[in-house]
């Protein structure tokens, strides 16, 4: 018997595949699954029973969509006016039971027009990716993780179950967020954040080792952490100045410093918040930028 994957596309007779759907080779569509007009499915992707893929949604190769998952539904955003927006998904992602990922909001209304999910990601049961989010590669989202609109999650980040992420937040590469956290500010790369509200607790050494980060870089990150978060002045700015004065920083420490510096250009601890003000609020007053989109939590003076 051959171990080669089947090139036959199999569609269960109870599945609903609307006109114009494009299916690659070896695709499997399970019972009572729904594929809406405009959907494109790459080779060897499996859509299990009762899953739904809607709208202008594109999946790459070797993805698995588990029962009850819904991908590409319209955004939960009051600004959405029915624009033709997209959800674009890469390769080898797993969308577990009842997780949801929404299309973007139109560019005329402050959106990016597209929600993007990269490669090799695991979205566990009942997790949610809101409109205009960008997920890199090898991201893990635990059960019931909620990403609000416009969240960016960088490569290799892990978000534990029950965590809510505020809109326009950035989660840095290889960061780890503990379960049931409430995250309203950017999470620096390589670090651990826990609590309600989320606070930096240490370095994600387990994640660094699993990703093959060198011992030299791990030791350099430990030193950088002490300088940034444990300096006698208790001053992040002083720690950044100290590190920037060094000439031999390893790449990971440089990334951390650049991330923290970039964060200063945003608002409320979120780099992307500054971009929102530029797009939607020429006055520069963040109180006049009223986020009306999908939010795991809202600032006290924001409407949902």
For residue 62, pLDDT beyond 80: yes
> What pLDDT was estimated at residue 292?
39
At 26, the pLDDT band (50, 70, 90 cuts) reads very high
> What pLDDT was estimated at residue 294?
54
For residue 283, pLDDT beyond 50: no
pLDDT per residue as tens digits for the range 191-239: 999 999 999 999 999 999 999 999 999 999 999 999 999 988 889 999 9
> What pLDDT was estimated at residue 303?
26
**Contacts of residue 232, Cβ cutoff 8 Å, sequence gap at least 6:** none
- Residues assigned a catalytic role: 131-132, 149
> What pLDDT was estimated at residue 179?
99
Q: Does the domain at residues 10-204 carry the CATH identifier 3.40.50.620?
A: no
> What pLDDT was estimated at residue 282?
40
pLDDT per residue as tens digits for the range 134-162: 999 999 999 999 999 999 999 999 999 99
> What pLDDT was estimated at residue 73?
98
Print the SS3 string covering 210-259: HCCCCHHHHHHHHHHHHHHHCCCCCCHHHHHHHHHCCCCCCHHHHHHHHH
pLDDT per residue as tens digits for the range 116-137: 999 999 999 999 999 999 999 9
Rounded to an integer, what distance in angstroms lies between the CA atom of residue 94 and that of residue 272? 27
For residue 296, pLDDT beyond 80: no
The residue with tokens 């963040």 is 286
Rounded to an integer, what distance in angstroms lies between the CA atom of residue 269 and that of residue 196? 15
Is the separation of the CB atoms in 166 and 147 below 8 Å?
no
> What pLDDT was estimated at residue 23?
98
So where are the chain's domains? 10-204
């Amino acid at each position: 018997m051959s171990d080669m994957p089947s090139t036959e596309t199999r569609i269960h007779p109870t599945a609903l595949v609307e006109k114009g759907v494009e299916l690659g080779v070896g695709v499997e569509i399970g019972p009572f699954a729904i594929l809406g007009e405009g959907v494109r499915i790459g080779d060897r992707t499996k859509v299990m029973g009762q899953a739904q893929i809607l709208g202008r949604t594109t999946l790459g190769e070797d993805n698995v969509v588990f029962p009850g998952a819904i991908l590409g539904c319209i955004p939960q955003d009051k600004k959405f006016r029915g624009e033709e927006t997209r959800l674009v998904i890469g390769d080898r992602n797993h969308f577990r039971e009842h997780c949801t990922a929404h299309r973007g909001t139109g560019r005329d209304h402050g959106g990016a027009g597209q929600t993007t999910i990269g490669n090799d990601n695991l979205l566990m049961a009942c997790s949610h990716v809101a409109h205009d989010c960008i997920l890199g590669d090898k991201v893990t989202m635990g059960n019931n993780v909620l990403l609000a609109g416009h969240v960016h999650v960088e490569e290799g980040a892990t978000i534990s179950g029950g965590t809510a992420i505020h809109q326009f937040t950035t989660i840095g590469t290889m960061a780890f967020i503990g379960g049931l956290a409430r995250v309203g500010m950017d999470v620096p790369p390589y670090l651990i954040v826990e609590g309600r509200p989320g606070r930096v607790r240490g370095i994600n050494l387990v994640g660094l080792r699993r990703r093959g980060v060198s011992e030299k870089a791990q030791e350099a990150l430990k030193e950088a952490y002490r300088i940034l978060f444990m300096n006698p002045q208790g001053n992040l700015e002083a720690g950044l100045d100290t590190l920037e004065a060094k000439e031999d920083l390893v790449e990971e420490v440089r990334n951390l410093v650049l991330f923290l510096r970039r964060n200063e250009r945003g608002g409320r601890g979120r780099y992307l918040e500054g971009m929102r003000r530029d797009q939607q609020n020429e006055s520069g007053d963040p109180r006049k930028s009223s986020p009306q989109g999908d939010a795991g939590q809202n600032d006290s003076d924001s409407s949902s």
